[in-house]
Amino acid sequence: MTISGNPKESNVPVRPGLVSLRDRWWWSPLAVLFKMGVRLRHLAFDIGLKRSKKGALPSIVLGNITVGGTGKTPHVMALLQALAAADPEFRWAILSRGYGRTTKGYRRVERSGVPADFGDEPLELCRRFPEVAVAVSEDRLEGLAQLKAEDAADAVLLDDGFQHRRLDPTYSIVLVDATQPVDRDHFLPRGRLRDLPERLAQADAVVISRCPDVLTKGDLRLWRHRLHLKPEQLLLHSGTMVEGLRNLQTKRYAAWPRNCIAVTGIAHPAQFESALVRNCRVLRHFAYPDHHVFTAQEIEEWTAFSARQTVRPEAIITTEKDASRLREMDLPADMPILVMGIQVKWWDDDALRALLTSIRIKVDASLADPDI
């Protein structure tokens, strides 16, 4: 079981599920400058040199304070499903920046599109929820105004945007990865922080993601203390469940192979692999940087590796996020590409109900009085 950042290099063993906080201390001077820049930018908004504005529609922001995946997109899906189940008549839309796209400005995401037009995550959301309006815009205020002009929704979930201070959201939720303690991390480029940890206190709710099991009341009190949360802030925790495998081409459910090749372009490939090895043997994991654009040469490398093995892999397994980038490519006909679906598991139903109630109270108040 191995992970390689570059398939041409020798593999580096990785313990399943282990995520380390690499202290790249040699970047300390730049990290200090980056932190100063972030603090000054927030100060400009806090004292009124720069202005925050309410959006044209009630807005629920899901964000984080670190780079890399904390599970924002799966949580957007899970939250949308919970909100829709609570009130099927209420219309929600999704707005994203569209990271990795080559286009600019506001665009409604189309299921038939490609990641270059909209980004891989918005395209994944659009295909998962065809009845929901999904849009991309680097200017969140403009995106909200366009969605209102199109009468596309009553309120909007924003995939990322906690750092987009020009928007004053109706409700903000920040995700903290349980495997990446932000209170021990450093600013970019020394560590993974892209925002001030103390800004967690500005969120309406905080979700501790990637928890392998239910946290005790003592654990939750410890997290509140570590993150310096206020008593009125909601604190939830969640984990992930494997939904199963689907064939990329046919979209039908598939059985687990005995042996496979893993291919990912995500922030935390070790966590993906740790889920895989519970069900099959991973002969090799071709792990690329987050949002990686795959090439025909790389696909040839996967098939060449397969051909050299005494025990042949029966499938290539990838993520839903990577599937959107692979779907349009010329893939090998002799080996199926299987997509492993991941679903968020809320560990505390009472906390989830409190979150849904809190969101709707603020959204309904905003709809009744847009100045709130």
75 closest CA partner among 152, 144, 7, 176: 176
**DSSP 8-state symbol, 148:** H
- Angle, alpha carbons 127-279-261 (nearest 5°): 70
Per DSSP, the three-state class of 292 is coil
What pLDDT is attached to residue 21? Answer: 53
pLDDT in tens, 260-315: 999 999 988 988 999 999 999 999 999 999 989 999 999 999 999 999 999 999 99
Comparison of pLDDT for 14 and 344, the residue scoring more: 344
What pLDDT is attached to residue 13? Answer: 32
Instruction: Label residue 22 by pLDDT band (50, 70, 90).
Output: low
Per DSSP, the three-state class of 158 is strand
* pLDDT at residue 181 is higher than 90: no
What pLDDT is attached to residue 9? Answer: 34
Q: What does the mean pLDDT of the chain come to?
A: 91
Per DSSP, the three-state class of 53 is strand
> Domains of the chain, with CATH numbers?
2-6+242-344 (3.40.50), 51-240+345-362 (3.40.50.300)
String of b and e for 17-32 (b: at least 16 CB within 10 Å)? eebeeeeeeebeeebe
Do residues 166 and 52 lie in contact, with contact meaning Cβ atoms separated by under 8 Å? Answer: yes
